[in-house]
Structure 1
Amino acid sequence: MDSIPKKLYNIHGFDSRSNLELYFSDKEDMVFKEDFLTFPLMNLHYVFSRGFICGNLLIDFSSGAFIHHLYSAANIFKDMIIMKFNEKCSMEVRRWHGDRTGAFSWNHTKTSVEELEGKSDQTQDKELNLKASIKHIVTCNLEEENLAHPLVLPLTDCVISAGLLDVISKDEEDYMRNLGKVSNLLKIGGHLILLGAINATYITAGADRFHWFTHDESFVRSALSKLGFVIDYCAVQRRRNVSDLIDYSHIYFIAAHKEK
């Protein structure tokens, strides 16, 4: 397996539907439920229910075409912009957003969030609320100074980045540069929510293996500190599955605010 060449998420083609089916579906043989569904949903519900993250505009800066991590955020942010670096991922999200034929079903995650919030009898409202909050789904170019080009965005109150920095960054220097671009989207006092995997080297989608920047929790903490962030909340969970689709030891969730 180590001899298989690794592709780059933002450069080579990415099978967005395969990614959803392998890591985020409700199939019985989907082994990543605890790590990629339950863990982020519980932590997102926790931080958004505490009231210290607020504002009007949220930017989602995540890999793949998943949207389940935005349900709790939609309780607070009435305007959301989803930024993707892969057109297939943008198309997948648009298919769901527009209720088009063949859209991936997120009913299982929607129900989970409603249960966390104690509102399991209002699952349809939860999805409609999220869709109403999403104003733009944009395919971006990482090389552009303005990542949202041609849109000109105001500084945002919150950015969620799940997995993206890990798959677009080749090394530590690249990670710092990309994290800096994310920081530039935020107001002073705005919040960044990071979700990622520790000690990973690759992730599989379809027939392809994609690069994953290998790092640990201390590196992420140091990177955030260097760019003027203060961590408000952090949770780390040891891997709870057995699979060769992706090699990681832990997953983490960090919420931090931009102090300078």
Structure 2
Amino acid sequence: MESSTHKLYHVDGFDSREFLEIYLSDKPEVVFAEETLKFPIENLTKTFTAGLIRGEILIDLSIAPMIHHLYAACEFFKHIIVLKATDRCILELKRWLNTRTGAFHWGHATQLHVDAEGKREQLQDKEEKMRSAVQHVMKCDFEKENIIEPLDLPPADCIISVCLLDVISKDHDDFRRCLGKFPRLLKPRGHLILFGTLNATYFTVGKDKIHILRYDEDFVRNALVGEGFVIDCCKVKETKVVSDVWDYKGIIFIVAHKEK
């Protein structure tokens, strides 16, 4: 299948629950856990416990109905606003937030967080804090100037974005255009924490191949600087996984701040 025929995440959608089972569950056959679970959790825990990034509002702009990357943040922000590009992801995420029957089990991710923080006795407290911190879950559309039109968001102290730009951007210019909407969501000197996949072209959910924009470390660094961000930290984890399910070569983690 050529990349031009890969489905677009925000246009065609996919089975969001199946995505969680394939890439983020605790099943022994999930071979991506080192990159999708441990790497984000460890780096976000270190970043927030350093004490330099905190505040009132955090906006999450990430792929799929994932929640595990926000556990570290709920200790340092009073309000978390989650924006999703598809309705199915919103429904799946709300199922967990409202503790409904059949919700995805995130206990393994919670355990990784409390272990990373050295607070194993706080397993149940962590999930309760997470649910109380997430104030809003809303639809966003990067084709609009204001991505949650007709509403407005208060400027955030921090944005976390996991792989969303990778899947909604058709090409490098489109990536820069979408990234250009982030600064207006941030307070002056606000932080952006970005995770992305390096040199990937697709991931698979069921029978569907979903488009991922291919880029390298230099490209994403230059794109951030071009939008007025100063890079504070950058780490790359090369993958040891060889799979026809997802063809990424590594994961990039960047912490940056808005210059003005």
Q: Shorter-chain TM-score: what band? A: over 0.9
Q: Is the 8 A contact 1:4 1:209 kept in 2?
A: no
Match of 2:231 in 1: 231
Task: Check whether the contact 2:3–2:201 (CA below 8 A) recurs between aligned residues.
Answer: no
Query: Following superposition of structure 1 onto structure 2, how do residues 1-260 of structure 1 map, counting pairs within 5 Å?
Result: 1-2=1-2, 5-260=5-260
Deviation at 1:51, TM superposition (A): 1.0
Match of 2:12, as an amino acid? H
Helix, strand or coil: the match of 2:222?
A: helix
Give me the whole-angstrom Cα distance separating, in 2, the residues matched to 1:125 and 1:65. Answer: 21
Q: What CA distance in whole angstroms lies between the structure 2 residues aligned with 1:44 and 1:240?
A: 21
d(CA) in 2 for partners of 1:23 and 1:4? 24
Structure 1 residue 3 displacement after superposition: 7.6
**Alpha-carbon distance between aligned partners in 2 of 1:257 and 1:130, rounded to the nearest angstrom:** 24
TM, length-normalised to structure 2: 0.97
Q: How many residues align?
A: 260
How far off is 1:222 after superposition?
Answer: 0.3
Q: What secondary structure sits across from 2:121 in the alignment?
A: coil
RMSD of aligned residue pairs (Cα, Å): 1.2
Cα distance between partner residues in 2 of 1:83 and 1:254: 20
The unaligned stretches of length 5 or more in structure 2 are none
**Deviant stretches of 4+, over 3 Å:** 1-4
Identical-residue share of aligned pairs (%) = 50
Structure 2 counterpart of 1:58, which letter? L
Structure 1 unaligned spans of 5+: none
Q: Report deviation, 1:2.
A: 4.3
CA contact (8 A) 1:65 1:93 kept: yes
String of CA shifts for 1:41-90, please: whole Å, max 9, x gaps: 00000110111111110000001111000000001011011000110001
For the residues of structure 1 that align with 2:21 and 2:4, how far apart are their CA atoms?
22
Is the deviation greater in 141-150 or in 223-232? 141-150
Q: What secondary structure sits across from 1:209 in the alignment?
A: strand
Letter matched to residue 154 of structure 2: P
Contact 2:3/2:211 (8 A) holds in 1: no
Cα separation, partners in 2 of 1:60 and 1:49, compared to 1, 3 Å? same
Distance 1:65 1:76 in 2: 22
Work out the CA distance in 2 between the residues paired with 1:207 and 1:102: 23
Structure 1 residues 4 and 233: alpha-carbon distance in aligned structure 2, compared to 1, 3 A threshold: closer
SS at match of 1:35: helix
Matches of 2:243 and 2:71 in 1, distance apart?
28
In structure 2, distance between residues paired with 1:141 and 1:198: 24
CA contact 2:81–2:134 (8 Å) conserved in 1: yes
Offset at residue 206 of structure 1 (A):
2.2
C-alpha deviation, 1:5, in angstroms: 2.3
